[in-house]
Amino acid sequence: MTTTESSSVAATRGEARRQATADSVYKPKDGLLLEVDDLFVEFHTDDGVAKAINGVSFDLYQGETLAILGESGSGKSVTAQAVMGILDMPPARITGGQVRYCGQDLLTMPDEQRRKTRGPEISMVFQDALSSLNPVFPVGWQIAEMFRQHRGMNKSDAFERAIKLMQRVQIPAAKERVKAYPHQFSGGMRQRIMIAMAIALDPAVLIADEPTTALDVTVQAQIMGLLQELQEERQMGLILITHDLGVVADVADKIAVMYAGRIVERADVYDLYRQPAHPYTKGLLESIPRLDLKGQNLAAIGGLPPNLMRIPPGCAFNPRCRYAQPLCTQDRPELREVLPSREAACHFSEEVLNG
């Protein structure tokens, strides 16, 4: 694809976004797209109740990239699914909080109204594109389905749009491959198709749940680059969910670090990397392998993440924390401003910041 074609496609897409915004009943106020406010999610299983999310709050503005960082079971994917409205309920249960999109609470919205936000307003890219795409339908058909369902477009028009999107996400020979099936593509190409599908209707918010985890390192960089490019082109709010600190560094504006279903630290990306304010973040940063420390043992965070059915009292991180004091086992630290525009949930953030 030549650059002129690419820019003309980009131009028409940008126009489409403006059109979509003009038609949409959802108008962001001062660029504020999404407010997650004190969200609680539990999973009710035969073994007991797992408290997956325990009071998560964050905001997302137009053109902003928020990275949610955490290890498996920290609640980052559950947060994304709750925002998206695709949690399996039961076993999941949202026990508190609000998710407001352009001021309207998605959680109390009628189902049909909520469904119509998925795709045109908020959209999602999943981790494993092979299992996330339907194996028995051609990829172009799956992309075109967005236009057919939400825009009532006819088959051939929708296919035309699908081809344009495939070109936009740089799939070679898009016209020829529009009728190919997911298994006929490489992992990176499949993820591009997922992305094309997610951005088809110019959503205001894009959630990417570990979009590069299943990919080769070189492909990872390409996919992240593509996401960043699309986000800038369309001024989307991007939520990037990952456990990979390296992936976040180049792309994100803000980072929220999650642990045991809570946000334990929130900061601009540079501040957080330069000077973490929470012992957990500090531990994570120290556990990144570094070339200049070759031959030394890798610093790891001892212990395991807590069982979500039995989260320790006080600070959930206290059994693994080297700053822990008796206070930490009794009193749960709330997220507080430890420096200007920096928040951490730790009694001893000042100590962590200074050393």
| Site residues for another protein per CB under 8 A | 84, 86, 115-120, 123-124, 126, 128, 131-137, 145-146, 149-150, 181, 183, 194, 197
- Rounded least distance, CB 195 to another protein, Å: 12
Residue among 95 and 134 whose Cβ is closer to another protein:
134
Q: Which of these, 175, 277, 169, 184, lies nearest to 233 by C-alpha position?
A: 169
Residue among 143 and 346 whose Cβ is closer to another protein:
143
Residue among 117 and 349 whose Cβ is closer to another protein:
117
- Rounded least distance, CB 9 to another protein, Å: 22
- Rounded least distance, CB 200 to another protein, Å: 9
Residue among 146 and 352 whose Cβ is closer to another protein:
146
One-letter-per-residue 3-state SS of the chain: CCHHHHHHHHHHHHHHHHHHHHHCCCCCECCEEEEEEEEEEEEEECCEEEEEEEEEEEEEECCCEEEEECCCCCCHHHHHHHHHCCCCCCCEEEEEEEEEECCEECCCCCHHHHHCCECCCEEEECCCHHHHCCCCCCHHHHHHHHHHHHHCCCHHHHHHHHHHHHHHCCCCCHHHHCCCCHHHCCHHHHHHHHHHHHHCCCCCEEEEECCCCCCCHHHHHHHHHHHHHHHHHHCCEEEEEECCHHHHHHHCCEEEEEECCEEEEEEEHHHHHHCCCCHHHHHHHHCCCCHHHCCCCCCCCCCCCCCCCCCCCCCCCHHHCCCCCHHHHHCCCCCEEEECCEEECCCCHHHHHHC
Residue among 158 and 352 whose Cβ is closer to another protein:
158
Residue among 80 and 308 whose Cβ is closer to another protein:
80
- Rounded least distance, CB 205 to another protein, Å: 12
- Rounded least distance, CB 130 to another protein, Å: 9
- Rounded least distance, CB 353 to another protein, Å: 39
- Torsion angles phi and psi, residue 232, rounded to 5: -70, -40
Pairing of strands 32-45, 48-61: antiparallel
- Rounded least distance, CB 26 to another protein, Å: 14
- Rounded least distance, CB 63 to another protein, Å: 22
Residue among 198 and 346 whose Cβ is closer to another protein:
198
Residue among 119 and 283 whose Cβ is closer to another protein:
119
